Amino acid sequence: MTTRKKTRRADACASVVKSSSFASSAMDTPAVVQQTCADAGHTSPAISLTGISKHFAGAGGEPLEVLKDINLTIAEHTIVGLLGASGSGKSTLLNIISGIVKPDRGRVCICGAASEEFNDWRAVSYMFQEDRLLPWRTAIRNVEFGLEAGSMPKAERTRRTHEALQLVDLNSFEDAFPYQLSGGMRSRVALARSLVTEPRILLMDEPFSRLDAQTRVLMHQELLRIHQLKPMTIVFVTHDVEEAVVLADQVAVMSPRPGTIREVVDIALARPRDPTLPEVTSYIQRLRALI
Mean pLDDT in each 10-residue stretch from start to end of the chain (291 residues)?
42 36 32 39 81 87 88 96 92 94 93 82 87 95 87 88 93 95 93 92 93 92 94 94 96 93 96 94 95 88
Other Cβ atoms closer than 10 A to 227: 18
How high is the pLDDT of residue 24?
33
How high is the pLDDT of residue 28?
35
How high is the pLDDT of residue 35?
40
How high is the pLDDT of residue 122?
75
Other Cβ atoms closer than 10 A to 40: 6
How high is the pLDDT of residue 161?
93
How high is the pLDDT of residue 191?
94
